[in-house]
């Protein structure tokens, strides 16, 4: 395969194609990954599908547009070194376009089937595919790929264990019967939820906003901010619950329902800010590379129009196809109640927070599915839809190779379309 050349006519055409495919990839993220924020809320009947879509659309868009910058470096994930394409930026551009299309197609297929797959694994698989095809096996950072593969095991197992413990305590000391430990446990769970959500928001959701303002909080600063936010969060809900349920029949599930609405909004914001990179990272890379080819000034910061495009794509995908994966997470694994859904959501959030601080690669999708399975194990193996779990695991296993294969196919197509 010879070196591919780009014409001045071909560069705008390629950029337009990348914009379209970036939107398409973002559409797939919205259609599939929204289950991380809203699936358990729908399954536990706290929110209807329409309510969940409306709430998630608002907070996913805000997270993606306001705090989703700085994604160009993030999405590369260290899988391949872009400097290897310094003399052949055109091939790098084709590869990123192919990765966008491959990611979008696989996420569309998975969403139509209701499979909750990892968008990160999808795009990384696509980049690995085009990297192997153009550079060879030895140029891939296989340690990164191995860590991602390891997360298939560590993510669901860790969150399943944590969720199982949380729900068991909740079931034995709150749901089954009223005990003197109930107020302590409920407030402790509220504090943990507030801390996890605040830490996710500070370290991920607001990271790029802080960067733009010249504020770079250390991890200790982030923990301190999160502890204060969690204490305020606990006080607000404690006061609200005392007022709301003062003269009503005891109903612990209702408390967890209110908590789930708040945590779902916060997780949607953090998810939008973090996972928009999976959709628009390659587009941002193509935009930068085309500017280099045209000898135009460029910045490593992601342009606002690209962030808006990614945010819009996520919302459209969520509104049109998101309900399929929501139902898989919320209804087809284990029958959920508000206490079960909250336990799963809290366990998933804490697992992601801890893993990210330990530099352990985890998938939020895998983490949440594992948490829901952990709830089912506490209820008994018979409560789990084993066939549904087998289908989900199968979709996880084939995601990386599917992304890689599709990227190679589309790379060949694009190189033939845009070259002379």
Query: Is the Cα torsion angle 65, 67, 73, 74 positive or negative in sign?
Result: negative
Nearest alpha carbon to residue 319 among 57, 99, 141: 57
Residue labelled with tokens 């790098």: 92
| Per-residue pLDDT tens digits for 156-176 | 999 999 999 999 999 988 888
pLDDT in the model for residue 388: 93
- Asked if the model's pLDDT at residue 413 lies above 60, the reply is yes
Does a structural domain hold residue 32?
yes
Report pLDDT digits (tens) over 284-324.
777 777 776 666 665 556 677 877 888 788 888 888 888 88
Instruction: Write out pLDDT tens, residues 215-250.
Output: 778 888 889 999 999 999 999 988 988 888 777 777
Q: Is 88 part of a structural domain of the chain? A: yes
DSSP 87: T
Q: DSSP state, 303?
A: P
User: Is residue 276 predicted with pLDDT exceeding 80?
Assistant: no
Residue 316 counted as domain residue = yes
Domain with 384 in it: 10-418
State whether residue 107 is helix, strand or coil.
helix
d(CA 313, CA 29): 8
In a domain, 2, yes or no: no
Q: How far apart are the first and last CA of the chain?
A: 13
Positive or negative: CA dihedral 173, 177, 181, 185: positive
pLDDT in tens, 99-153: 888 988 999 999 999 999 988 788 888 888 988 998 888 888 888 778 777 777 8
**Per-residue CA distances from 278 to 68, 117, 254, 273 (Å):** 11, 13, 36, 10
Residue 374 has which token pair? 């952990």
Its sign, for the CA torsion 177, 178, 180, 184, is positive
- For the chain, what is the mean pLDDT? 81
DSSP 6: -
| Number of compact structural domains in the chain | 1
Specify if 92 maps to a domain. yes
The CA R_g of the chain, rounded to the nearest whole Å, is 22
290 contacts 14 by C-beta, under 8 angstroms: yes
């Amino acid at each position: 395969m010879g070196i591919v050349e780009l014409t001045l006519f071909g560069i705008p055409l390629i950029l337009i194609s990348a914009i379209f495919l970036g939107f398409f990839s973002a559409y797939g993220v919205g259609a599939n990954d929204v289950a991380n924020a809203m699936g358990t809320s729908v399954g536990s009947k706290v929110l209807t599908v329409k309510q969940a879509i409306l709430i998630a659309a608002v907070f996913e868009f805000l997270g993606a547009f306001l705090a989703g910058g700085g994604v160009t470096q993030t999405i590369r994930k260290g899988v391949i070194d872009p400097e290897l394409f310094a003399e052949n930026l055109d091939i790098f551009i084709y590869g990123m376009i192919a990765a966008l299309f491959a990611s979008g197609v696989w996420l569309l297929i998975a969403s139509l089937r209701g499979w909750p797959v990892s968008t990160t694994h999808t795009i990384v698989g696509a980049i690995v595919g085009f990297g192997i095809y153009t550079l060879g096996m030895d140029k891939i950072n296989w340690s990164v790929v191995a860590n991602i593969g390891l997360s298939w095991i560590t993510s669901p197992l860790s969150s399943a264990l944590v969720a199982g413990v949380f729900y068991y305590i909740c079931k034995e000391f709150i749901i089954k019967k009223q005990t003197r430990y109930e107020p302590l446990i409920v407030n402790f769970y509220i504090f943990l939820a507030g801390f996890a959500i605040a830490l996710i928001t500070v370290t991920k959701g607001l990271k790029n906003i802080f960067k733009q303002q010249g504020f770079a909080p250390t991890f200790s600063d982030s923990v301190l901010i999160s502890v204060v936010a969690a204490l305020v969060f606990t006080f607000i809900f404690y006061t609200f619950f005392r007022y709301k349920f003062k003269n009503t029949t005891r109903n612990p599930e209702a408390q967890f329902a209110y908590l789930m609405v708040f945590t779902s909004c916060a997780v949607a914001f953090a998810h939008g800010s973090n996972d928009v990179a999976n959709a628009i990272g390659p587009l941002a890379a193509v935009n930068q590379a085309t500017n280099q080819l045209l000898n135009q000034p460029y910045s490593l910061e992601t342009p606002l129009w690209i962030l808006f495009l990614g945010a819009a794509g996520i919302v459209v995908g969520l509104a049109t196809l998101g309900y399929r994966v929501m139902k898989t997470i919320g209804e087809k694994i284990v029958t959920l109640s508000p206490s079960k859904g909250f336990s799963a959501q809290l366990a998933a959030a804490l697992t992601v927070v801890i893993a990210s601080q330990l530099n352990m690669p985890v998938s939020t999708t895998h983490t949440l599915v594992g948490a829901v399975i952990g709830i089912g194990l506490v209820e008994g193996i018979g409560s789990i839809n084993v066939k549904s779990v087998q289908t989900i695991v199968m979709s996880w296993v084939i995601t990386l190779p599917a992304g890689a294969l599709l990227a190679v196919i589309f790379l060949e197509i694009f190189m033939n379309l845009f070259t002379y």
